[in-house]
């Protein structure tokens, strides 16, 4: 697939870059996710000796005591790693657009937020108490319009504004000691299950508080508040699609969210958000920003969908392709993604199904060179070698300097 010039493919999750990012995620998880303070607690224990109270840190909120200063030092170190990570998408236009949406949603305070866009296929955004926000590409793939993106950004800013992660940090510190920190990491976890339930019940209350604050923010910003519960309902539907494809029953939507879920979608969450909308002063009307969102993100969706396909989540991936088609209409790259899904899955009949989807995309005017390359691979798998060679030659003719030219040339039977 064609990719924006500034961001030719990073290594996929699970590759070298993916492993580096996994390490980074482990370092950042407790610092940046308001509902997951565990890593931060452990890190703060090992923090350098507290600096003098007069030391200034980046951002408007300064730590108030030695405990917070130790945490701030750890977060500053994590951010230094983040600034050089290859997983960060540095495209100026994409970053400017996300900051524009953030500022419209939260107001002038956005100037103090340091925003990083991460190449990761999972639905997530995080907000650290020192002013660092991360937006993951899996969120950008799943949000169907600007209002839904704004809802998640507003939710994360609400955690920051209310100092939720600091409250959790102190709450855990009061209830825990060094031995319990080890239990949080999995060692002796059964012995501390009651403590974990207590802490995460607290965080679920914070989630609802942040949800309601975020809802009010986007309504005030002129977005359609009805989009807020929709994004969580879509997450429920995607989760159901994943479970069904794996031969499991759908979740009971009335059940409580999982204890360790950072953004737990549940029917209860959808219900209380819908019930809150009529109470808003700006409940009527509002825009979705779907055209603007489509224009800014369309060039990135092929890459983000490719990352999603690499997760081997059959149900979730097909659900997302269908959802994008439904919202934006069919495009050559969603046709390509659907064909790629079948080719990569490799179940009985998938090779011929993939050939059909590639052929359909080409017949409908698709001109992505990868359509011919992908069909070539599918034709080889289906035992149609001569047809495959013709498609490989077409691909090479369309992309003379293709990075995989040597390998494809061999398959095409040319020098």
Closest CA to 204 of 256, 149, 128: 256
Of the candidates 64, 65, 82, 71, the residue with the CA atom closest to the CA atom of residue 37:
71
For each successive 10 residues of the chain (415 residues), what is the average pLDDT?
Answer: 40 36 37 37 41 56 70 79 92 98 96 94 87 93 97 92 74 54 37 40 75 94 95 93 87 42 70 92 81 94 94 96 92 95 95 98 96 98 97 97 95 87
* Cβ pair 319, 156 in contact under 8 A: no
What is the structure's pLDDT at 78?
A: 80
- Strands 125-127, 114-118: pairing kind: unpaired
End-to-end C-alpha distance for the chain, whole angstroms: 24
Q: What tokens were used for 34?
A: 């308001």
Q: Is 298-412 a CATH 1.25.40.10 domain?
A: yes
CA dist., res. 193 & res. 92, Å (int): 45
Q: What is residue 8's predicted lDDT score, i.e. its pLDDT?
A: 37
The pLDDT value recorded for residue 30 is 38
Give the pLDDT score at 51: 44
Q: Would you say 104 and 46 are in contact if contact means Cβ atoms under 8 Å apart? A: no
217's tokens: 């923010």
C-alpha distances in Å from residue 138, one per residue of 34, 79, 225, 287, 372? 19, 21, 22, 23, 27
Report pLDDT for 126.
86
Round to whole Å and give the CA distance between 328 and 395.
27
- Strand-pairing partners, residue 133, are 115, 127
- The DSSP bridge pattern shows strands 132-136 and 125-127 to be antiparallel
Give the whole-angstrom CA distance, residue 315 versus residue 244.
7
Numbered ranges of CATH 1.25.40.10 in the chain: 298-412
Beta carbons within 8 Å of 157's beta carbon, 6+ residues apart = 102, 105, 106, 109, 110, 113, 127, 133, 214, 217
Report the pLDDT value the prediction gives residue 415, as an integer from 0 to 100. Answer: 66
């Amino acid at each position: 697939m064609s990719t924006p010039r500034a961001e030719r493919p990073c290594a996929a999750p699970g590759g070298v870059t993916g492993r580096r990012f996994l390490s980074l995620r482990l370092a950042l998880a407790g610092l940046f996710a308001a509902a997951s303070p565990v890593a931060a607690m452990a890190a703060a224990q090992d923090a350098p000796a507290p600096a003098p109270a007069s030391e200034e840190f980046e951002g408007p909120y300064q730590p108030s005591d030695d405990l917070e200063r130790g945490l701030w030092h750890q977060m500053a170190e994590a951010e230094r790693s983040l600034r050089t990570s290859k997983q960060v998408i540095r495209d100026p236009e994409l970053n400017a657009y996300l900051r524009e949406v953030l500022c419209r949603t939260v107001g002038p305070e956005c100037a103090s937020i340091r925003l990083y866009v991460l190449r990761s296929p999972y639905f997530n955004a995080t907000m650290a108490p020192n002013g660092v926000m991360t937006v993951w590409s899996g969120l950008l793939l799943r949000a169907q319009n600007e209002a839904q993106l704004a809802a998640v950004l507003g939710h994360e800013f609400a955690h920051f504004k209310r100092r939720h992660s600091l409250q959790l940090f102190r709450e855990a510190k009061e209830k825990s000691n060094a031995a319990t920190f080890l239990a949080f990491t999995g060692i002796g976890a059964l012995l501390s299950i009651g403590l974990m339930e207590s802490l995460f019940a607290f965080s679920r209350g914070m989630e609802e508080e942040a949800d309601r604050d975020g809802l009010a923010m986007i309504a005030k910003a002129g977005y359609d508040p009805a989009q807020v519960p929709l994004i969580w309902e879509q997450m429920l539907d995607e989760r159901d699609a994943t479970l069904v494809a794996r031969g499991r029953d759908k979740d009971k939507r009335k059940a409580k969210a999982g204890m360790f879920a950072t953004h737990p979608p549940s029917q209860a969450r959808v219900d209380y958000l819908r019930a809150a909308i009529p109470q808003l002063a700006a409940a009527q009307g509002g825009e979705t920003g779907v055209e603007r969102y489509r224009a800014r993100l369309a060039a990135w969706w092929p890459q983000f969908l490719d990352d999603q396909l690499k997760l081997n989540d059959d149900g979730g991936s097909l659900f997302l392709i269908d959802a994008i088609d439904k919202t934006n209409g069919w495009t050559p790259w969603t046709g390509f993604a659907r064909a790629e899904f079948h080719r990569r899955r490799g179940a009985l009949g998938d090779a011929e199904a993939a050939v059909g989807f590639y052929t359909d995309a080409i017949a409908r005017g698709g001109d992505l060179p990868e359509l011919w390359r992908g069909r070539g691979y599918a034709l080889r798998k289906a035992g149609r070698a001569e047809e495959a060679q013709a498609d490989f030659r077409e691909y090479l003719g369309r992309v003379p300097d293709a990075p995989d030219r040597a390998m494809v040339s061999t398959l095409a039977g040319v020098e």
